A = this chain, B = another copy of it.
Amino acid sequence: MSDLEIIRHAPFNAETPERALRHAETPSASVYVRSNFGVPQLDWSHRLETGGHVDAPFSLSARELAALPQETIGVTTECAGNSRLTMLPLPAGEPWHHGALSTMSWTGVPLRLLLERAGLRAGATDVLFAGADSGPREDADGIVRFERSLSLEDAMRSGALLALAMNGEPLTAAHGAPVRLVVPGWFGMANVKWLSRIDVRTEPFDGYFQRQRYVYDDAEGVRPVTRMRVKSFITSPTDGDMCAPSASVEGWAWSGDGAITRVEVAVDGGDRWTAANVGTPASPHAWTPWRCALSLPPRARCVLRSRATDAAGNTQPAQITWNRLGYGNNAVRTIVVNTTE
């Protein structure tokens, strides 16, 4: 059984309930699901082709893939459209609130190993990943397949896995069974589900999901969405809670551009921020816990905000630059609590 907040049944899209985001690892039944098309029903005989600009193309069934050496990594992943609901004006697209976000452990075969086995040829620059899912789109001709690419460097050095298991259990169909790509630090669209083909290329890919969707489209032009922007939120207290004036405010922070180096908390409006204690993530690609003891005014409505900064020096903005398709909203969030005597 799943414990999700459903946005749409066909294609199936559902977000993680706020209460499930308190856990360091999101319970499997509450891991958000993003689908662009119907869910392919594949079994362990499903084959993954690796080819293109390589010396030795090959294919492996999922069963064969599972016999290769495996790694397990903890990864926080956010949908690029997460928090779209709080963008003004509201863009078209799935109306994600803040729960298109989960932290999972993934077990699978390092992508790098397969690429090395195929033998990269000189001149290789990009790697394309194709899922088994496809369908028509309003703004495209014919049938569109879900395909995304990475630069060769990102494919080799990002720590990407061909994941066969999530949170210690074989992938379910909704999460991409039997095999999906997982790219740590990237927004979720990079994690191609129902992975069917890995194609090494000598030039960039410009397919539908690379140039028409999962792109920032604003005054600066159109660029593919890539790594997750620095972001944080408060897990305790929660919006609408009654709490004591002596409050411990806790939450998570993450970034695709480096470790979290600072988290600050503000009470009510204005620009006064208090530094939080930043903890250690359970794994390098999982979110970072933080905590801050605050003294709030008694018997009052209080507004709490958190703001994270990463090792690259990026800080969450008060407001993001609006983009047409509503991606990458990492603006500071507010929650409201009421204090006791």
Chain A residues at the B interface, C-beta cutoff of 8 Å: 5-9, 84-85, 88-93, 95, 97, 266, 268-271, 297, 299-303, 305, 318-319, 326, 331-332, 334, 336, 338
A97 to chain B: which residues have CB within 8 Å? Answer: 336
Other-chain contact of A268, B9, B92, B299, B319 (Cβ < 8 Å): B92
Q: Across the interface, do A318 and B95 meet the contact criterion of CB distance under 8 Å?
A: no
Q: Which residues from chain B contact A302 at a C-beta distance below 8 Å?
A: 95
A305 — which chain B residues lie within 8 A by C-beta? Answer: 90
Q: Please judge, given known A-B contacts A95-B268, A95-B269, A95-B301, whether A332 and B8 are in contact too, CB under 8 Å.
A: no
User: For A336, what are the chain B residues with a Cβ–Cβ distance below 8 Å?
Assistant: 85, 95, 97
Residues of B within 8 Å of A269, CB to CB, are 84, 89-93, 95, 326
Of listed A84, A95, A97, A305, residue having the most chain B CB within 10 A? A95
Please name the residue on chain B nearest to A93 by beta carbon: B269
Q: Provided the pairs A88-B318, A88-B331 are in contact, do residues A8 and B270 lie with their beta carbons within 8 angstroms?
A: no
Is there contact, CB below 8 Å, between B7 and A85? no
Residues of B within 8 A of A270 (CB): 90-92
Instruction: Give Cα A90 to B306, complex, Å.
Output: 12
Q: Which 6 A-B pairs have the closest CB atoms?
A: A89-B318, A92-B270, A90-B269, A88-B319, A92-B269, A7-B301
**Which B residues lie within 8 Å of A326 (CB)?**
269
Give A208 Cβ to nearest chain B Cβ, in Å.
19
CB distance B7 to A89 under 8 Å?
A: no
Tell me, in angstroms, the Cα distance from A9 to B9 when the chains sit together: 46
Tell me the minimal C-beta distance from A212 to chain B in angstroms: 16
Query: Can you sample 24 A-B contacts with CB below 8 Å?
Result: A5-B301, A6-B299, A6-B301, A6-B338, A7-B300, A7-B301, A8-B297, A8-B299, A8-B300, A84-B269, A85-B334, A85-B336, A89-B269, A89-B271, A89-B318, A89-B332, A90-B266, A90-B303, A90-B305, A91-B269, A92-B268, A92-B269, A92-B270, A97-B336
Cα A297 to Cα B10 with chains together (Å): 11
Q: How many Å lie between the Cα of A294 and that of B271 in the bound state?
A: 42
Measured between alpha carbons, how far is A93 from B88 in the docked complex, in Å?
22
User: Contact between B88 and A303 (Cβ–Cβ < 8 Å)?
Assistant: no
Q: How far is the CB of A41 from chain B (nearest CB, A)?
A: 21
Q: Nearest chain B CB to A320's CB is how many angstroms away? A: 9
Closest to A90 in B: B269
- Chain B residues lying within 8 Å of A89, measured Cβ to Cβ, are 269, 271, 318-319, 332
Closest chain B CB from A232 CB (angstroms): 15
Residues from chain B with a CB closer than 8 A to the CB of A334 are: 85, 90
- Contact between A95 and B7, CB atoms less than 8 A apart: no
- A26 CB, nearest partner CB in chain B, Å: 20
Chain B residue nearest to A305 in the complex (CB): B90
